[in-house]
Structure 1
Amino acid sequence: MTSQTDQTPADACCAEFAAVSRRGLFSGAIALAGATTFVGSAAITTSASSAAPAPSVLVVVSLRGAADGLSLVVPHADPAYHQARPGIAVPTDRLLARDGMFGLHPELAPLLPLWTNGTLAAVHATGLPAPNRSHFAAMEAVEDADPGSAARSGWLNRLIGTTAGSSPLQGFNLAGGVTPTSLFGRSATMSAGKVDDVRLPGEGDDDQGRRRRSLRTMWDHDRSVLARGMRATYAAVDEFGPAKQAVDNTASYPATDLGKALAQVARAIRGNVGIEAVTVDQGDWDMHSGMGTADRGWMVDNTRELAGAIAAFFGDLGDQAGKVTLVTISEFGRRVVENASQGLDHGYGNVMFVAGAGVRGGQYYGTWPGLGKTDDADLLVTTDYRSVLAEIVSKRFGASTATVFPRFSPETVGVMTSL
């Protein structure tokens, strides 16, 4: 974030989310200086590395803190919207891409070219199958996407486990910090703050190959599972070379956490090293008070950052743009009715944006349930978020939705085309 840092009230977000705010664990690209690590069981479960250009790439942007979907995509024709938000509602005449029910927040203007050319869509009233207003628990549930299972496995990890290849490069966390639950599991994944940090621990510019030679001496003739994982690790680092050679276009992005992070994602994708799934975070959406108006404030700043970074990202993909799909997701939405502090408390339903390859864009999807006007009114969920993700998984990757989302029968959303 650039302008909100010193304006947000100290008590604007809830105590639970304070630990994972912009300055905390899940904070965009804050940890840009972090070294590459392999997390969980990653480095000990891959028998060989065989990176190859991926036919499809999925970028998941997590809006940490529970973004207000009713501000991002405004249901202007629902009479309860303006009645419930006398101080923070976005005026109908300010909305973009307005149809008979919905319109985009005015700060999403950088994304209008994607909307008009049919590569950006919104799915409203999405979310978990049951309300969950704890940030930590909801994040875990969304990213695990397998309710009731005791297995430590995220849906993106299950996805890359269904595709050809066995390289840690297939699943990549480029948000810095701890790899999210969605990428945790049996398949090897990678994590780094930026492209140039992908290296073996202890391997510096003046190393002259000594670290690599010592590792090979130690592991090359070992037949253990750990040794196979180590060999996969340094093979993946070697295969990542073309990404490091790709031009770094960070200067053409907004100078924000998300802009810096997506610049690294685009660079890695342009390297064409076999990446299939990438995660990145935008934090600081927990707006319990002082969220601002349609003209200025916290919501305006966050929305501007989101739109500017995504627009720059798609402009930076070059000849790889035809295989990249991006989806946004947040752990839950916010209440319909604004509170006494001109903010919004934890709610339920939300909106998801889907952009890029394979998207039937330029329109709004989902079944609108209507809004309530009581103080505890929520936007109800009419589309399980997994149905949106399942459509991406099946249409873009040809993967089994039963494998990626066990015990779930997705409904047709219609937002994606086939490969």
Structure 2
Amino acid sequence: MSAPCTCPHETPAPTGMSRRTLLRGAAAVAGLAALESTTLSTRLAFGATAYTGDVLVVLSLRGGFDGLSCVVPHGDPAYYANRPGIGVPKAALLAPDAMFGLHPAMAPLLPFWQAGTFGAVHAVGQASPTRSHFSAMEEMERAAPGSSARTGWLDRTLGLSAATSAFQGTYVGSGGSPSAFAGPVAEMAMRSVDSFSLSGVDAKNRARWETALKAMHDGAPPVLAAPAATTLAATATTGALAAQGYAPANGAAYPSGGLGSALKEVARLVKAGVGLQAAAVDYGDWDMHAGLGRADSGWMRDKLTELSRALAAFATDLGPAMSGVTLVTLSEFGRRVKENASGGVDHGHGNAVLMLGGGVVGGRVHGTWPTLAAGALVGGDLRGTTDYRAILGEVLQKRCGAGSLSTVFPGLAATTSGVVRARS
């Protein structure tokens, strides 16, 4: 069961401008028009091209995910020495190699690990680590340390390709769009396809509003007419999809709860071919300062079970379409190596990133393992030997068709670690 965080910085709710926020009836269209105008000029400056790459799904594990409990370094003797109460026994691990094994709650994902479409990168960190939830997540979603950039990395990524759909960048969930989407490129935010509509407009009056919006912008300059047309096209698309209904394919069974619901909606959008390029989903409650639990019960086991079931259902539901999807998990920081007196772990640094998709080089743990020896730690934390931006950059270049990464990740040196295969 979850325990409240006692740290000075609680995990912030994601923020950012979105189409869903802006669509507040007819008066909102003018605000959307101004945003769309900025988007157009920005993309012309970037030399945007048509998009032909993977759908990138970013799953944010907010609260500080404990990668050492998920991808367990059983071959490092310091692991069990530092975690006598919460360490996952070697005998319980899934797919163990000489160094790593998966937490037993990851069983739903084992077939994908064995098939080579699910993998991990360990000892992943940020260039300037901090143990503050707010600061760490803000910097991770800005992804431009040492630069003056104030936009989010997903916004900059979307700016590389021409806008062909209102659904190009979409946040799915109950909160607001994450700051990774912050910037001039307008994105969508929705709870679900079925619930998406003009804010404050019920089904009975929807046709009247749509007629009124069309009439208001008939003959208007493109800077005003285009956003209105995009808005109406988006609601028409979701309306048509809602009328069709949706049943997951291939026997996929999503777990109840926010994560399963959100990933089901992402799969629905992917299969509908609405022009989705990047989707963001949040899954919080990882701040396990106390009561993390053991391998067979407790908070971590329950969270990993839901995570694994949701990811397995997502991949199963998409079936062959998963060949054109890459999902990456991110968290603001990992947890400390040594368990505390409350049976939990405090804020740390190095972490594990999980990856799922047809182009993922899975069935293994990537990255340089620095060991958990006392002299190798950074203030009691796992050292981050792989910059998370290097993982994302490789995905963007090999799977999403990005050229130079200088716009998306300013100052990042190009690296290739082999976490994904190049798209054919």
Structure 2-normalised TM-score?
A: 0.87
Alignment CA distance shift 1:324-1:216 (3 Å): same
Separation in structure 2 between the aligned mates of residue 363 and residue 42 of structure 1, nearest angstrom:
45
Shift of 1:54: 5.8
1:387 aligned residue (372, 385, 390)? 390
Counterpart code for 2:210: R
Shift of 1:16: 2.2
SS in 2 for 1:229: helix
Separation in structure 2 between the aligned mates of residue 319 and residue 151 of structure 1, nearest angstrom:
38
2:418 corresponds in structure 1 to: 414
Shift of 1:378: 0.5
Separation in structure 2 between the aligned mates of residue 240 and residue 162 of structure 1, nearest angstrom:
26
Does residue 2 of structure 2 align to residue 8 of structure 1?
yes
SS in 2 for 1:415: coil
Counterpart code for 1:379: L
Separation in structure 2 between the aligned mates of residue 352 and residue 189 of structure 1, nearest angstrom:
25
Does residue 20 of structure 2 align to residue 36 of structure 1?
yes
User: Following superposition of structure 1 onto structure 2, how do residues 10-409 of structure 1 map, counting pairs within 5 Å?
Assistant: 11-17=4-10, 20=12, 25=13, 36-38=20-22, 44-46=34-36, 55-207=53-205, 209-223=207-221, 225-241=223-239, 243-244=241-242, 245=244, 247-249=246-248, 252-373=253-374, 376-400=379-403, 401-409=405-413
Separation in structure 1 between the aligned mates of residue 257 and residue 206 of structure 2, nearest angstrom:
35
Residues 166, 234 of structure 2: 8 Å contact kept: yes
Stretch of structure 1 that moved more, 216-225 or 103-112: 216-225
Task: List runs of 5+ in structure 1 lacking aligned partners.
Answer: 1-6, 28-33
1:3 corresponds in structure 2 to: none
1:31 corresponds in structure 2 to: none
Residues 16, 135 of structure 1: 8 Å contact kept: yes
Alignment CA distance shift 1:121-1:69 (3 Å): same
Alignment CA distance shift 1:193-1:215 (3 Å): same
Residues 174, 280 of structure 1: 8 Å contact kept: yes
Counterpart code for 1:194: S
Shift of 1:125: 0.5
After superposition, the C-alpha distances for 1:359-411 in whole angstroms (9 at most, x for unaligned) are 11111100000114489411001000000000110011111322221221132
Stretch of structure 1 that moved more, 83-92 or 311-320: 311-320
Alignment CA distance shift 1:290-1:88 (3 Å): same
Separation in structure 2 between the aligned mates of residue 12 and residue 151 of structure 1, nearest angstrom:
31
Percent of matched pairs sharing the same residue: 47
Counterpart code for 2:35: T
Stretch of structure 1 that moved more, 408-417 or 231-240: 231-240
Task: List runs of 5+ in structure 2 lacking aligned partners.
Answer: 41-49
Aligned length: 399
After superposition, the C-alpha distances for 1:332-384 in whole angstroms (9 at most, x for unaligned) are 00100011111111100001011112111111100000114489411001000
Separation in structure 1 between the aligned mates of residue 151 and residue 238 of structure 2, nearest angstrom:
25
Alignment CA distance shift 1:336-1:262 (3 Å): same
Counterpart code for 1:286: D
Residues 46, 232 of structure 1: 8 Å contact kept: no
Counterpart code for 2:400: F
Counterpart code for 1:93: A
Stretch of structure 1 that moved more, 224-233 or 121-130: 224-233
Alignment CA distance shift 1:219-1:312 (3 Å): same
Alignment CA distance shift 1:348-1:314 (3 Å): same
Stretch of structure 1 that moved more, 101-110 or 194-203: 194-203
Moved over 6 A (4+): 39-42
SS in 2 for 1:361: coil
Residues 54, 275 of structure 1: 8 Å contact kept: no
1:4 corresponds in structure 2 to: none
Shift of 1:243: 4.0
Structure 1-normalised TM-score?
A: 0.88
Root mean square deviation, CA, Å: 2.7
Shift of 1:248: 4.0
Shift of 1:206: 1.2
Residues 19, 187 of structure 2: 8 Å contact kept: no
Shift of 1:171: 0.1
Alignment CA distance shift 1:264-1:53 (3 Å): farther
2:44 corresponds in structure 1 to: none
Separation in structure 2 between the aligned mates of residue 317 and residue 243 of structure 1, nearest angstrom:
17
